[in-house]
Amino acid sequence: MKILVGIKRTVDPNVRIQVKADGSGVALESVKMSVNPFDEIALEEALRMREAGKAEEVIAVSVGSGECQDQLRTALAMGADRAILVQHDEPLEALVVAQVFVAIAAKEEPGIILLGKQAIDDDAGQTAQMTAALWNRAQATYASKIEIEGTKARVTREIDVGLDIIEVDLPAVISADLRLNEPRYVKLPDIMKAKRKPLAKTDLSELGVATENKLKVLKTSPPPARKPGRKVADEAELIGELRKTGLI
């Protein structure tokens, strides 16, 4: 069984985000970029499936500019067998990315498309669901545990009221939640080996995917500054202030 894993290039989660002065987007110049954390979790789970004999090949797929090769090389260093870069320099919305995964799935015929539940840059959380719908396959989102038995996957999902356990037929689309696993550290020898692993390049036209986005970002703005705190003399003053603000 092959597993396709989505790898998105995002701002490193330890970097403080800065919005451009004109509100046209986030400032990315000289900013450290890394693999989207939820995609890293998805890749780790795919590698564990292969190591357990449940899969034969793990393929990392990224959609974006040529710079995404850095993140794909990281995925190869973690243990992915090969990588595919669908090169496109402009931002693409979730629907187009889902169409890309479906087009690649038609060629690779994977048993699982394993994605992060969301990307930390836009927090849309739509790609996995759209991919499943376009591919006409079952979906299991927000997975905190995945068990593969033959042609079925038993998935424990994290939901608002607790855990939901479902069973889906493969092929299927699964999205990884935060508590699914702890990704492994990449070692220097693995980074060197990754340079020799295959990384194929293609584009949207070769896959037959249209580039038209249906959504347009009008403005990006930072969250309002937090009001400074202040000290109160005693409990009575604290209660009075809380009542003024409507908190009690």
Q: What is the pLDDT of residues 212-229, one digit of tens each?
A: 888 888 888 888 888 888
Residue at token pair 């990704």: 183
Name the band, by pLDDT with cuts 50, 70 and 90, for residue 105.
Answer: very high
Residue 18 sits at φ, ψ, to 5 deg, of: -120, 130
Q: Give the amino acid at 40.
A: E
Select from 213, 39, 182 the least CA-distant residue to 118. Answer: 39
Q: Give the amino acid at 214.
A: K
Residue 70, number of CB atoms within 10 A of its CB: 13
The pairing of beta strand 112-116 with beta strand 172-176:
parallel
| Residue 88 vs residues 92, 114, 175, 180: alpha-carbon distances, Å | 8, 22, 24, 30
Name the band, by pLDDT with cuts 50, 70 and 90, for residue 205.
Answer: very high
Q: What is the largest CA-CA distance in the chain?
A: 70
Using alpha carbons only, give the angle 184, 187, 193 rounded to the nearest 5 degrees: 115
Q: Could you state, in order of their start, the residue ranges of all structural domains in the chain? A: 2-244
- Predicted TM-score (pTM) of this structure: 0.86
pLDDT at residue 247 greater than cutoff 90:
no
CB 75 within 8 A of CB 195: no
| Number of alpha carbons in the 13 Å side-chain half-sphere of residue 160 | 0
Name the band, by pLDDT with cuts 50, 70 and 90, for residue 98.
Answer: very high
Give the pLDDT of residue 69. 95
| Number of alpha carbons in the 13 Å side-chain half-sphere of residue 118 | 8
Query: Which CATH superfamily hosts domain 2-244?
Result: HUPs (3.40.50.620)
- For residue range 51-89, list pLDDT tens digits in order: 999 999 999 999 999 999 999 999 999 999 999 999 998
